[in-house]
Chains A and B, each alone.
Chain A
Amino acid sequence: MIKVEHICKTYKVSRRNAGFSEAFKAFFHRQYEYIHALDDISFTIDDGEMVGYIGPNGAGKSSTIKIMSGILTPDKGSCIIDGRIPWKDRKAHVSQIGVVFGQRSQLWWDVPVIDSFELLKDIYRIPDQQYKKNLDELASLLDLGQIMRTPARQLSLGQRMRCEIAASLLHSPRILFLDEPTIGLDAVSKIAVRDFILELNKKHGTTVILTTHDMQDIETLTRRIILIGRGRILLDGSLEDIKKQASGNKRLTVEYRGEDIALCDGMTVHSSSKNIITFDIDVNRLPVSDAVSFISNQVEIKDISVEGVSIDELVAQLYKKYRI
């Protein structure tokens, strides 16, 4: 159980304009600005939940993860995870959690991955039996067979990420923090990683907190989403809640023969090229079937497709709505 209450964190950032004279000035007098990375953040996450933590770059996602994993001390507020304060009781706390920072590596660069795993076994003092069991399970689920015997520096990004995830799970943590685990991965690796996380949550009841910019991650993995922007929580709910918050648009792509199409109420042109036009339909004002018959009365339709607005756009709309 994770309970975060009124967390605040401020960073001091030195700023100056470009140019030699500015640099000279800054030599004697630095100008600092205070950035409120986190501003009164509160939420509660139950055991076994999978939560997507989303927001634009610089919203405070990583700072929150770092606080929850005991790396960063907040200026104000409290955070209690399984009865411990992460930054006060760091060593006891971190032995119960696993962390993956998608942009960094925890594997020793120039030795085979299995050596890094052995080191982690000693660090977490994992009993032999448990280590063997976990390693076998992770190796088969993440398909690590040959990869484990290769030095980390010679792995592809996808292979390395699978090893990184395995590395943070060897000690059977109760909570897993994933900070952009699918960044830069190809489609196959992304799907492999997602399937694995789902399986992990289902089988071991591991609590998973995931930050990402990939909305497919969110869609497949999490039932609950926390949206953060400029250090504040803007929305805490399910994907459906977010869809309700955003406009209920559908997107209609029509390939047609004939003259230009006239518009009616509830219909806006998203993009158009020669004989292909895409509309955004506001379904509250204009049912999709009405829109289709309205168009077919004007032109000969060769092909037509209807889709919901992608979740990426939903989120972009939300960012816009909250001006973040």
Chain B
Amino acid sequence: MLISVKAGRFQKYITFFRMRFIGGLQYRAAALAGVVTQFAWGSLELLVYRALYEMSPEAFPMSIKELSAYIWLRQALLTLFMPWYYDNDIFASIRDGSIAYELSRPVNIYYMWFTRAMAGRLSRMILRCLPIVVVAVFVPEPYGLRLPKDVFCALCFLVTAFVGLVVVVAFSMLIYISAFYTVSTDGLRYLFSPVIEFMAGSLIPIPFMPEGVKRIVEILPFASMQDIPLRVYSGNMAGRELLIKAGLQLFWAVALIIIGRLWVHFAIKRVVVQGG
């Protein structure tokens, strides 16, 4: 009985998720273009790193095999983790005031947006992931994408990828909430996107950063997004280091959600619904 009541309470969020997810699957042309771009980008990146590797292999913090897996998987999962992807419907609802309807319903705005943002990312990823993975698997050694070392490694990857997704979405929620205050968040997004990109390891993987920078970046929430699951998959992170990093990741997920929940609570109190 208790379980069915609980399921009832969450049912609406599952439905939000489902509707956004199905909605996202419609954009096939965008996905096709994305796959081509990401495949080209991944190849280019690999060529650059290969050149660097041949110059001084001993200075490389990852093996070329690990790096290849890291790069291909990052391209395949780009839309899942990219820090600069936002659900424009959410911004639009604040700008044009249709949030009035959302506030006049018995839903928690934070969790509703959270599930929608998560579903949007997942549906975009599903469309792009498979073609890239299939092709990358057939790229010859050591430049291809190999399967994870063992089942345990795969399991660790899945768990850290999920928590990583939660961290990305929980962080993007802060940007959504800030729209209550600034109306347009474009400025904020343009200002911070490159910084966040860099700190999440999207430009250069975090292991390649200089020691001092790396030490700071590694404790920030951005490192808990894609860097950890990608390194786990490629075999670059395991054992004690993995345990510590996963703990940190979990901490950031919880902390960001708590901050977002509190902030939304206060933001709604002072919200002025635009127009009419």
Contacts and interface: CB of A to CB of B under 8 A. Distances in A.
Interface of A: 11, 62, 66, 69-73, 87, 90-92, 94-95, 97, 99, 101, 103-106, 108, 110-111, 115, 118-120, 122-125, 179-180
Contact of B8 (A87, A108, A125): A125
Interface in B82-124: 96-98, 100-101, 103-108
Given A66-B273, A72-B272, A179-B276, A104 B98 contact: yes
Interface residues of B, number: 28
B107 A97 contact: no
A108 B15 CA distance: 13
B61 interface: no
Given A122-B12, A125-B8, A94 B100 contact: no
B104 A69 contact: yes
30 contacts: A66-B100, A70-B103, A71-B103, A71-B104, A72-B273, A87-B269, A91-B108, A94-B103, A94-B105, A94-B106, A99-B100, A101-B100, A101-B276, A103-B276, A104-B98, A104-B100, A106-B98, A106-B101, A118-B15, A119-B16, A119-B19, A122-B12, A122-B15, A123-B12, A123-B106, A123-B107, A124-B106, A125-B9, A125-B12, A180-B276
Contacts of A101: 100-101, 276
B106 A91 contact: yes
A92 B106 CA distance: 7
A73 B26 CA distance: 39
A90 B276 contact: no
| Most A Cβ at <10 Å: residue of B11, B15, B106, B273 | B106
A293 to B, nearest CB: 51
Contacts of A180: 276
Q: Which 10 A-B pairs have the closest CB atoms?
A: A106-B101, A95-B106, A122-B12, A122-B15, A99-B104, A91-B106, A71-B103, A123-B12, A122-B11, A69-B104
B1 to A, nearest CB: 15
B106 A73 contact: no
Nearest to A73: B269
A7 B144 CA distance: 67
Contacts of B273: 66, 71-72
A180 B98 CA distance: 15
Contacts of B270: 73
Nearest to B23: A110
A191 B269 CA distance: 38
Contacts of A94: 103-106
Contact of A70 (B9, B12, B19, B104): B104
Interface string B241-276: 000000000000000000000000000011111011
Interface of B: 8-9, 11-12, 14-16, 19, 23, 26, 96-98, 100-101, 103-108, 269-273, 275-276
B19 A108 contact: yes
A66 B103 CA distance: 10
Nearest to A97: B104
A162 B23 CA distance: 24
Nearest to B20: A108
B19 A11 contact: no
A46 to B, nearest CB: 22
Nearest to A109: B89
A315 to B, nearest CB: 20
A139 B104 CA distance: 23
A318 B269 CA distance: 35
Contact of A99 (B8, B9, B101): B101
Contacts of A108: 19
A274 to B, nearest CB: 44
A62 B272 CA distance: 12
Contacts of B16: 119
Nearest to A115: B19
Contacts of B15: 118-119, 122-123
B19 A105 contact: no
A92 to B, nearest CB: 7
A267 B100 CA distance: 50
Contacts of B19: 108, 111, 115, 119
Nearest to A72: B273
Contact of A62 (B106, B271, B276): B276
A11 B103 contact: no
